[in-house]
Amino acid sequence: MESIIADKKTFKYAYFPGCSLKSTSKEYDISAREVASSLGVILKEIPDWTCCGATPAHLTMHILSIGLPVKILLQVKEMGISEVVTCCAACFSRLKFANDIMSKDQLHREMVSRVLSKKYEGEVSVRHFLDVLVNEYGIESISKKIVKPLKGLKVACYYGCLLVRPPEVTKFDDSEDPHFMDDLINVTGAEAISWPYKTECCGASHSLSNTEIVLRLSNDILRFAKESGADVVAVACPMCQSNLDLRQGEIEKRYETKINLPVLYFTQLLGLALGAESKNLGLNMHLVNPFKILQEKGLL
């Protein structure tokens, strides 16, 4: 897997897949690893990693919401790697928040140190895989690797709430009008459409606790994507993908409409353009079948 690209730089990161990518969102993990392998990016999975706490921890116990991600960051530090990459927007948010607090706040450093019996002061850099691809590997370098352009495919890039907010912590793209995923999709040969809902909330973790909110918010997102001409929606968050894909049939019934809009991870689309086979990208693991539109466009 290890290789050096044209500019002679080796890209090696600790990799935190998180709980969703090992369970309900395996296709995200599969496609991210496939893309990394195609580009020569080394993702070294953290051994014996634990949950970052995601939504439940910061709703129940503040110190737990910091301690859990710090435990992961300490593991990365012990690996001797300075940067950790994650694909899940929720994991990215929790790791980023914890890192920001630990690098600035002495009281939290002391509290977490007592809990974990180890010191940590924010030495590890936290990156989202999209950030690494665009800002480290580079759009131009990726363009040279495209072997199967996704011509004719119109994509609504959906960033959701957590990937770019709050900007003072995430420090990743424009928080109001992000474009990194759009840039990446455009380089695949597909067209990233202009639409107004790219950072609106889908209801996130309320999928089980308050389904009505999720149905209403996700319906708005899917409706605007469809009306804006999208063939598919590209996401970077397992919760967003689940709400927009898993709940789509229920949304159609509730609002008496027909959407039929595949919701894919950006890594799956990039993987296709890099020449990966659909079976190696987990394209068969979605409820809304993406094969029909991809076949119509001559992309499979």
Domain CATH code at residue 62 = 1.20.1050.140
140 found inside a domain: no
- 98 and 180 assigned to the same domain: no
- 160 and 289 assigned to the same domain: yes
137 found inside a domain: no
User: What is the structure's pLDDT at 4?
Assistant: 35
User: What is the structure's pLDDT at 9?
Assistant: 75
Q: 173: domain range?
A: 146-296
Structural domains in the chain (count): 2
- 153 and 252 assigned to the same domain: yes
Could you read off the pLDDT tens digit of each residue along the chain, which spans 300 residues? 333 333 457 899 999 999 999 999 999 999 999 999 999 999 999 999 999 998 777 667 899 999 999 999 999 999 999 999 999 999 999 999 999 999 999 999 999 999 999 999 999 999 999 999 999 999 999 999 999 999 999 999 999 999 999 999 999 899 999 999 999 999 999 999 999 999 999 998 777 778 999 999 999 999 999 999 999 999 999 999 999 999 999 999 999 999 999 999 999 999 999 999 999 999 999 999 999 999 999 998
- 281 and 209 assigned to the same domain: yes
138 found inside a domain: no
131 in Cβ contact with 172 (< 8 Å): yes
User: What is the structure's pLDDT at 7?
Assistant: 46
User: What is the structure's pLDDT at 56?
Assistant: 72
- 27 and 157 assigned to the same domain: no
CA pair distance 133, 41, nearest whole angstrom: 9
3-state secondary structure labels for all residues of the chain: CCCCCCCCCCEEEEECCHHHHCCCCHHHHHHHHHHHHHHCEEEEECCCCCCCCHHHHHHHCHHHHHHHHHHHHHHHHHHCCCEEEECCHHHHHHHHHHHHHHHHCHHHHHHHHHHHCCCCCCCCEEEEHHHHHHHHHHHHHHHCCCCCCCCCCEEEECCCCCCCCCHHHHCCCCCCCCCHHHHHHHHCCCEECCCCCCCCCCCCCHHHHCHHHHHHHHHHHHHHHHHCCCCEEEECCHHHHHHHHHCHHHHHHHCCCCCCCCEEEHHHHHHHHCCCCHHHCCHHHCCCCCHHHHHHCCCC
| Cis before 166? omega within 30 | yes
User: What is the structure's pLDDT at 58?
Assistant: 67
- 156 and 245 assigned to the same domain: yes
User: What is the structure's pLDDT at 209?
Assistant: 76
